[in-house]
Amino acid sequence: MTALPKWADVALIPAINLVLAFFVSGLIVMWIGENPLDAMTVMIKGSIGSAYGWGYTLYYATNFIFTGLAVAIAFHARLFNIGGEGQAAIGGIGAALVCLHFGWPHWTLAFPAAIVGAAAFGAAWAAIPAYLQASRGSHIVITTIMFNFIASALLVYLLVNVMKAPGQMAPESRGFPAEAHLPTAHEMLAWIGVSFPRSPPVNVSLLIAFAASALVWVLIWRTRLGYAIRAMGWSEPAAIYAGIRPFRIIMITMMISGGLAGLMAINTVMGEAERLLLDPVQGAGFVGIAVALMGRSHPVGVVLAAILFGMLYQGGVELEFEMPAVSREMVLVIQALVILFTGALENMVRAPLERIALMFR
Amino acid sequence: MEKLHSVLAGAAALSLAGSAAVAEPAIIYDVGGKFDKSFNESAWSGAEAWKEEAGGSYREIELQSEAQREQAIRRLAEAGNNPIVMPGFSFGTSLSTVAPEFPDTKFVIIDMVVDQPNVRSVLFKEHEGSYVVGVIAAMASESGTLGFVGGMDIPLIRKFACGYVQGVMATNPNARVIQNMTGTTGAAWNDPVKGAELTRAQIAEGADVVYHAAGGTGIGVLQAAADAGILGIGVDANQNYLQPGSVLTSMVKRVDSAVHAAFSDGPEMETGIVEISFAEGGIAYALDEHNAPLISDEIKAGADSAIEMILAGEIMVHNYFATDSCPDS
């Protein structure tokens, strides 16, 4: 279906897109009177130039891996799940309930329980739009985005009226007990005698994110269910002819997708804030779409794209700090350009490259 | 502003005069961004006023996500910025973690108490200010039906609503207050269209004075009130000028003075809890040429006597935070 060799498709095109995005970003930085090379250096040094930077980059990347996988797996069944934001928020409620309502003796017990809680809540939230799509044909794009608002409303209601700590002004739950705190990279690396800065919030959830990526790969390319999901995605009539029931596949795929999005909450709610806040998702649900697009819906691509977006986030903070002329909105513009070039304008690079590839055939 | 400033700055100004090397102060704006036409923008104008007056410079950071709170506070403290001002209750948890790590840096948090020796917690008695505008609203209302439009349904906004309702009920026990919240996401603070819609719905139910505590959304509330020929009440800044002749008054919360005072006091500031109300001039109802025709002598006398009684302790306005509930609603 493409004239390009595989390596060009998975590596060269994203790389060229990135270079283009940074080139245009550089022009904009120049236009506001700063040196683009300095800006680039600040971003790269700030995000991966130190253990501190890596700590934050990987923390953000953890979120994006989960939401990116959630979008990617739904893409394989040609379902566009843009409800990651809401599913992750509800997953946060699940994780918080598990952490607050049981007296856990140790984090090693609280952690698996919170994983189950977060995934189950996220999956349940995705199951409703999935059912509406599978049985009623209500378009999943519309329903999942509307469910984001319902999730947000539910979260505000619960935090203000039910879960808010008494005597507390901010709408947040009470802090989780110390036994439900996840070890950060600082603590985990100390076990093996490696020192790592204390403040970055990257924690054991990162390992779960890597494990989830591996499991998604196995599921999609090495199981019957994965085959059915992909078959559904390529052609629904063909899948039905082969005896695959679309209702079942839509429900299962969306619940796995919602569960993965919900898992994001273990990183932000249990790993970082150690309490349930008003906005536990921090926009990662939407960034997940860009991550999945850029990662070509492949787990390895998703992990790499998630780390890139983690770098953009962390590097963006450093840029804002080091160069006061670069405002928060400028950082957003640079992030948006990367999404634009890698996601939407992919064919701009692909078409000429394919022509070149054909010339050398 | 002058009054509040002198209260806060008084002692500190003396000691500041001696120290030559003054660290650069810093301010961190919440995820909502600095130009929200409301709370954060008020903080920004306080910082800018200080810059103009003192001829100094300051650092500022706008947060992009929740996870950056602690990171931003630490970054500024490590860079030697002092004092570091945070407008917004959301900084509470992060600041109580970070403040002990930098005992020589002074932090200022607005709308929240952080109990650390190097933190100044500035609290505004919005419930008292809202009570007084409630009194004014009830006296100006002919229908006896009043409106309240909040941004998001969070405890801080319930505190505004609770004080307002108490003021209305104390003045006119037969009155009715219709309360609406704009939304459930952060977008609720900047949705003038929805604010106008809610206001029109309240007007349809008979409201003839509508008070908003909704940030940028309030622009739409005041616009809809003016369009329908009823009265709106502004919040945070003096918003009387937005719709001259249609804004009954504004519940002024001088976040700018709090920021200005913190910057002027510098690293030698006094810490602890600073409560700001009518006496300090940080809470007021706005009276200027735009609303002078609307505030009759009778209303003015009613409002001023309410303020006096609050100051004298004869009226105890219930604070929503004290019990997480409101006696009148």
At residue B314, φ and ψ (nearest 5 deg) are: -80, -30
Residues B246 and B271 in one domain: no
CA-to-CA distance for A319 and B215, rounded, in angstroms?
29
Tell whether the model's pLDDT for residue A168 goes beyond 80. no
Residues B195 and B305 in one domain: yes
Q: What is the pLDDT of residues B293-306, one digit of tens each?
A: 999 999 999 999 99
- Any idea how long chain B is? 329
Q: What is the pLDDT of residues B303-312, one digit of tens each?
A: 999 999 999 9
- Token look-up 């990279």 returns A185
CA-to-CA distance for B59 and B61, rounded, in angstroms?
7
Question: Taking CA atoms, what residue in A is nearest to B156?
Answer: A169
Which of A59, A149, A157 has the CB atom closest to B67's CB atom? A59
Domain boundaries of chain A, sorted by first residue: 57-302
Asked whether residue B327 is domain-assigned, the answer is no
Question: Taking CA atoms, what residue in A is nearest to B322?
Answer: A167
CA-to-CA distance for B186 and B31, rounded, in angstroms?
9
**Taking a C-beta distance cutoff of 8 angstroms, is the pair B203, B212 a contact?**
no
CA A224 to chain CA mean position, Å:
26
Residues B185 and B296 in one domain: yes
Asked whether residue B260 is domain-assigned, the answer is yes
User: Residue B180: beta bridge partners?
Assistant: B149
Q: Do B67 and A272 touch (CB under 8 A)?
A: yes
> How much is the pTM?
0.85
Asked whether residue B282 is domain-assigned, the answer is no
**Residues 126-185, chain B: which have Cβ within 8 Å of A?**
152-156, 158, 184-185
Give the total number of structural domains in chain B.
Answer: 2
Residues B243 and B260 in one domain: no
Residues B260 and B294 in one domain: no
Residues B108 and B207 in one domain: no
Q: What is the pLDDT of residues B145-171, one digit of tens each?
A: 999 999 888 888 999 999 999 999 999
**Taking a C-beta distance cutoff of 8 angstroms, is the pair B118, B95 a contact?**
no
CA-to-CA distance for A63 and A67, rounded, in angstroms?
6
- Interface residue B111 vs chain A (CB under 8 A): yes
Which of A56, A169, A327 has the CB atom closest to B156's CB atom? A169
Residues B56 and B85 in one domain: yes
- Interface residue B314 vs chain A (CB under 8 A): no
Please report which helix (H) or strand (E) contains residue A46, including its range. helix A36-48
Q: What is the pLDDT of residues B6-36, one digit of tens each?
A: 444 443 433 333 333 458 999 999 877 787 7
CA B25 to chain CA mean position, Å:
22
Residues 6 or more apart whose CB falls under 8 angstroms from that of A6 comprise none
Q: Do B62 and A273 touch (CB under 8 A)?
A: no
Asked whether residue B31 is domain-assigned, the answer is yes
At residue A141, φ and ψ (nearest 5 deg) are: -65, -45
Asked whether residue B313 is domain-assigned, the answer is yes
CATH number, residue B305:
3.40.50.2300
Q: What is the pLDDT of residues A82-133, one digit of tens each?
A: 999 999 999 999 999 999 998 899 999 999 999 999 999 999 999 999 999 9
The string of DSSP letters for B80-126 reads T--SEEEESGGGHHHHHHHGGG-TTS-EEEESS----TTEEEEEE-H
Mean pLDDT of chain B: 88
CA-to-CA distance for A127 and A132, rounded, in angstroms?
9
Tell whether the model's pLDDT for residue A2 goes beyond 70. no
| pLDDT band with cut points at 50, 70 and 90 for residue A151 | very high
Residues 6 or more apart whose CB falls under 8 angstroms from that of B290 comprise B240, B241, B244, B245, B247
**Domain range enclosing B219:** 127-251+287-320
Residues B154 and B272 in one domain: no
- Interface residue A173 vs chain B (CB under 8 A): no
Residues B172 and B315 in one domain: yes
Q: What is the pLDDT of residues B217-262, one digit of tens each?
A: 999 999 999 999 999 999 988 899 999 999 999 999 999 999 999 9
pLDDT at A116: 97
User: Residue B178: beta bridge partners?
Assistant: B147
CA-to-CA distance for B97 and B296, rounded, in angstroms?
50
Residues B198 and B67 in one domain: no
Which among A310, A356, A292, A305 has a CA at the least distance from the CA of A77? A292
Strand B209-213 relative to strand B231-236, pairing: parallel
CA-to-CA distance for B167 and B177, rounded, in angstroms?
11
CA-to-CA distance for A284 and A273, rounded, in angstroms?
15
State how far the alpha carbon of A44 is from the alpha carbons of A61, A203, B262, in Å. Answer: 15, 22, 35
Residues B171 and B299 in one domain: yes
pLDDT at A98: 95
Intra-chain end-to-end CA distance of chain B, in Å: 32
Count CB neighbours of A295 within 10 A. 27
Q: Return the half-sphere exposure (C-beta side, CA atoms, 13 A cut-off) of residue B33.
A: 13
Count CB neighbours of A353 within 10 A. 17
Tell me how many residue pairs between chain A and chain B have CB atoms under 8 A apart: 85
Residues B62 and B200 in one domain: no
Architecture label for domain A57-302: Orthogonal Bundle (1.10)
